[in-house]
Amino acid sequence: MRITEHNADRLVISGKTQGWLYIVVPLLAGALLVHSFVRGGTTQVLHCTRGARITCQIERSLLGIPLKSEPPFELKGAYLEVTTNSDDPLYQIRVQTGRGDISLGARTSGRRETKRQVVQEIERYLASPYSSTLEVKQDDTFTTLNIILFAVILVGSPLLIGLYNLKTSWILEREQDLLIVRRRSLRGEVQEEHYPLGEITGVMVDINRSSEGEEMHRVELYLTGRRILTLTPFYSSRGRQQKEEIVAAIRAFLRHTHRLSQDPHEQRIPDPLGES
């Protein structure tokens, strides 16, 4: 956000959203989506064959597409692992091998009984010398609806924001006696909001603190009726001096028409908890 024009009759403040965000964010979101599919959207099948020893292999597939499988191992046992360091217990089947324990299926907060039955089936196979083969399946594939919603939220949201609001300009026009808020989208559409300059009661850099105690700030315009227009969409810890300069320029522009008091303490919006 910066001042792009400033004279006696016109003050223009331009704020441009970082366009690269609308490329990087969807790419990162897409990578996270693929990672989630691979970790939580796979089908895992345990195949075991009894010979001199019980040899098994876990085959993985993603939506029917084969993935890298575990190398063959000797089956020693199985158990249901419960993780309790979250609000809800998480359950995962662990297969005991000669090389250590490996997971069968994803760790989930539900399907406890289904996973317990798989463990019991493996234990029965180990206890029965007459069973030559074993095949158990763990299907953790997301439902189609979950996949669609996940993709829309992670990939679509940044793009939609860019489509509808890429650049915002704040234009104070003395001749028209208006504050014009002009928003331009990636599609080239322009939307304008008009506010009479006489409705502006104050402008200041509002200061807040993050949960870590870091000072955050943004520029706010106060209008009659206890309305607030924010020149920056969110609080930021950077650009404090630039924001102060913008506030000073707006105050100077409005004071020239005697619309603001010379006392900056009178330029705050009334306490919202006070009288209307």
What pLDDT does residue 276 have? 37
Token look-up 């001749």 returns: 175
**What is the pLDDT, as a whole number, of residue 170?**
92
Residue 84: the pLDDT is 80
The Cα–Cα gap between 143 and 145 comes to 5
CA distance 144 to 268: 51
Does 13 share its domain with 49?
A: no
Are 8 and 81 contained in the same domain? Answer: no
Quote the CA–CA distance of 187 and 4 in Å, as a whole number: 23
Co-location of 115 and 187 in the same domain: no
Number of domains the chain is built from: 2
The answer to the question of residue 29 being in a domain is no
Report yes or no on 240 lying in a domain. Answer: yes
Residue 25 placed within a domain: no
177 and 243 in a single domain? The answer is yes
pLDDT, averaged in runs of 10, over the chain (276 residues)? 89 71 59 56 85 90 74 92 80 90 83 90 92 86 53 59 67 93 78 92 90 87 91 83 93 76 44 36
- What CATH number is given to the structural domain containing 258? 2.30.29
- From CA 114, how far away is CA 104, in angstroms rounded? 13
| Domain assignment of residue 74, yes or no | yes
Domain range enclosing 67: 42-141
pTM of the model: 0.48
Is the residue at 7 inside a domain?
A: yes
Report yes or no on 275 lying in a domain: no
Domain termination residue (choose one: 107, 141, 175): 141
Look up residue 3 and give its two tokens. 């001042």
